[in-house]
Structure 1
């Protein structure tokens, strides 16, 4: 019971500290009404970073020694502080252990005073996190709170499918009623599966615009300005000009082993429903679930990516890169999905002026809400539910970075269907139909 209480109030407390960088709070609790482009999913629901921890003055609820506790939950100050481990991934740049320790100390100034909990932060680089975190959970390592990753085995959808996240309904209702009430409507749908909440999103602007971030000096030298870049085709022209001047440079790279993303899907808004494999193409039929990698939009996008790879524009080390590519002086540019606030701070990382160009208008979707969530992990109880996740992880880097030829892509898709992909699609369609019906 003490562990359950501790994890519950730790989750609530930590959420107030993790509103991703300089992001602005979400302005609408039902973003689909603003954007018109959230396909939604009856699978998901979410909490929020906003008003969680500092509800220590809840009326009528005091700790054992008479002092109020966070969330109105009694805290026994005669007990030794509970020790918990929070595993998270590095959003960008290279972190130092000294800096991480400073953050950990600041967190503990709050959690020790409010809830008698000592938090140990364990941070990994992006590439390492995607592979190591799910394995550590599956092995039963002590991890009490995790920050899910946008893709791969560390994503919210894959972790839920693999039985690696603890249901939060009772914990949120008991220990975070204000937070539970704050975020309502479609936002809550993003991390709910079959009526159960499994994670809490950070409190931010959920719009998922696409940005191209480039070192200004190279762009200027090649005869381009930011105003010249209006599309992916313009980026290709810029790459051609810069590469002719600097063939030793890497035109584009990524620290998450992936380049295929919405910035490359010209003019197409889609919702992945929080998965790596499915999509609802909002511009086409917002009621139909399709296989993302068999869609025309993906094929057109991948043709561009493949062309970049064959011309030598893509970093040859992209499959093993774990740091933010802009920290590497030999990388000219990278892509970033999210709101404008996420592009700030990159110049300090790069060590020189950068150009930030919005190349696609984003939408609020299941994916953009669930892109970074807080959850309480458990040891995997249904590892077989991940036969599709394993297939995706096997091919992800190749198909996401332009390295896979058509034979490899066909092989990837065939393996998906051999492992129950059609059943997966049908179930997603059933849940989408159910959600749409509930929204009239």
Structure 2
């Protein structure tokens, strides 16, 4: 018995010592590549359907602040104390609704997937003042009010934004304006809840006139920020999404003709729900989050440049990345698998792409970097005996920000 165990041990030791050893080489730039001509099928990285959130999509936090406009008496809008309490409640409710994406109600009987919405609002200070909580009040007799009807309407006027915006285009400035007191006195004027997105900022009104129900304005905020993020009204024909059908924009099931009892629940329609976003709409939003020079990206708190976890992203099949991505973990391509990157990918600080023996990484007009100019470790290509990992490069390929003391540079 002991002899048998000894023989097995010796055989195992012999096999292990003779088995091909795993070795690695590192790629830090494109100097060693044979750059081939890119395939005829060229990906522009602009297809919004390639940006629909998936398991690799991280939560994004849109920076916001709040301005209360008032006249010189300081009595036509919330006080700072009451206003901050009101708006915190409103924003919290808006975030809660974003966390509860509903199934699309149109078309009737649809099987449109319900994709979790991957963004929330984050109140931020725009200055270094320790007392700055992201809330501001301005007394201005000329610019304090909101008027969306009549000869002197100012809903599209940007003067208040130009004068009081704080944070430039990196923060969504929410301007809370009361309806003009003279208009409110009129029997034909209703100080209803209303708002308008102007560039990266927005104006809202009707809040001070309805001070006890901040949650009722949460969908208004979500709707207007939807416009800021690139969404159109979804009942129209040219909103760029096939999964948002045209319809007569009915408020609810009791709406009169041409409504037939069915109505939309989409955030970008006018209805009594506004609790749904379609996959395509989320694709439009996330394309803006992921395109380097897009205005949406400037509004988001940067949280993608460092590793979020030591758990690797495993590629175990043939996978194509046809949209830009910000990755926060190492990537491992298993034997027999292929990862094709056709756009920009930001790798986390200290991260790397591991190409196992028998695996392939294809880079097609791709750009690998760290978006914060932090150092990552490059591409580790593994070899075991005659089986080796492959990296193939096509067209305009760039690799940047690889750490200077990476094994690829030794």
Instruction: State the TM-score, normalized to the length of structure 1.
Output: 0.17
Normalized per residue, which structure has more strand?
Answer: 2
- If asked which structure has higher relative contact order (CA below 8 Å, sep 6+), I would say 1
Q: Which has the larger radius of gyration?
A: 2
